[in-house]
Amino acid sequence: MTAKFSSIPADRLPDLLQAMPKAELHMHIEGSLEPELIFALAQRNGVALSYPSVEALREAYAFTDLQSFLDIYYAGASVLLKEADFHDMAWAYFLRAKADNVVHAELFFDPQTHTERGVAFETVIRGLTSACERARSELGISSALIMCFLRHLSEEDAFKTLEQALPYREHFIGVGLDSSERGHPPEKFARVFAKCRELGLRLVAHAGEEGPPEYIINALDVLKVERIDHGVRCVEDPALVQRLAQQGTPLTVCPLSNIKLCVFKTMAEHNLRTLLDAGLKVTINSDDPAYFGGYVNENYLETFAALPLDASHAYTLARNSLEASFVDEAHKAGWISQLDEVFARAA
């Protein structure tokens, strides 16, 4: 299906990457808080920031690893206090998603980041839900929310968060696992994920970004997840790569994030092409775009500029994103038809 697209000239790739419909499946909504919005919300809510200006805050975005990023990420989230704040944050993301031709977005949110500051779960979920509804009606973007548990906190804390969330069950489709990966293996959350599975929630987990391939295996076998967020370290275990390919397990890869957090030194060293060549269901996503230097199209553009990828890879990546989304087959078929039209015109 895709081989015929490899003849599309390389100089037309940037326009094609922009125009093709795509889903974004790995996007932390708190990670879309741009410095300008952080300062605006701080002023609105009377929150004192430890940075004197937008420029000073942006200059602080020099990370050496995941933890150094998380420290500033949680500081930025301190300005989110009211329902309107969560709405405004998500709406700003959706406007960028529209410009990037994102037709469907599955947004991660971290309630524990807010509830431990005294912000009610209801405040978080209502603000985000209203932005999702507005994005559907005003922008035509389909979306869903996935609640993540912070893995540096206890499983007991995760159970407490699940309990707070259940009255709002209709507003989120699944659960994930994020925050500091090292030292916090997936099996730490085996019981809470089993409970979420019983409740019919979709299951995903961060694994194999900084953590070893074993974390990916345990996310699959112990947590029973349907998608692996990141997963780039799977290549260290050939049997795991073969298993992921055979099972068609989607990997939500975030190239700019991987460079910014020093998972790879340069984009030219990124293993995305290797993953594709191994037959893995790879998708491209932006992770925490305000902090990592680009929304989803910027991730596509920089990846394609640095790696030997052509239009057939672009088609595969976009189609993977649509197929790996947690929506019904009718919606997927409609978007894939749009994707086919874009590539047919380009060819």
- Residues designated as active site: 209
Helix (H) or strand (E) holding 294: none
Using the Cα atoms of residue 234, residue 235, residue 239 and residue 244 in order, give the sign of their dihedral: positive
Tell me phi and psi for residue 205, to 5 degrees: -160, 145
- The C-alpha atoms of residue 143 and residue 249 are separated, in whole angstroms, by 21
What one-character-per-residue DSSP string does 185-238 give? Answer: -GGGGHHHHHHHHHTT-EEEEEESSSS-HHHHHHHHHTS--SEEEE-GGGGG-H
Yes or no: say if 145 and 330 are a contact pair by the CB < 8 Å rule.
no
How many alpha carbons fall within 13 Å on the CB side of residue 273?
A: 14
Angle at 327 (CA atoms; ends 198, 204), nearest 5 degrees: 50
281-284 and 202-207 beta bridge pairing:
unpaired
How many residues are present in the chain? 347
Residues with Cβ within 8 Å of residue 31, at least 6 apart in sequence: 73, 287, 288, 289, 290, 291, 292
> Are β-strands 250-253 and 227-230 bridged in parallel, bridged antiparallel, or unpaired?
parallel
